[in-house]
Amino acid sequence: MEVKIGVQHAPREIVLESGQSAEEIERVVAEALAGKSQLLSLEDERGRKILVPSDRLAYIELGEPTTRKVGFSAL
């Protein structure tokens, strides 16, 4: 699933591909925004962790799960 994270006072957004479901990501974001944790912690498909201070979150955009295309075709 593609996740875009907007951070306050940062010129670019953070984009990552996560293996987590939309419900899992939504739960983690809600916990961070409710003050249960000071950091939003997400892991991408390659095992890298992304940590963002929860008080600096501007927005979170959840995209559709990406499918890998194989082969060459004219679209």
State the first-to-last Cα distance of the chain, in angstroms, to the nearest integer.
Answer: 23
Residue 69 lies in a domain: no
**Average pLDDT value for residue range 4-9:** 94
Query: Which domain CATH number covers 13?
Result: 2.30.30
Tally the domains of the chain.
Answer: 1
Residue 38 lies in a domain: yes
Residue 6 lies in a domain: yes
Supply the pLDDT for residue 35.
86
Range of the domain at 38: 2-62
Instruction: Quote the pTM value.
Output: 0.78
Which DSSP string corresponds to 19-55? SS-HHHHHHHHHHHHTTS-SEEEEE-TTS-EEEEEGG
Which amino acid is it at 57? L
Residue 70 lies in a domain: no
What is the per-residue pLDDT across 10-67, written as a single tens digit (0 to 9) for each? 999 999 999 888 899 999 999 999 988 899 999 999 999 999 999 999 999 998 765 6
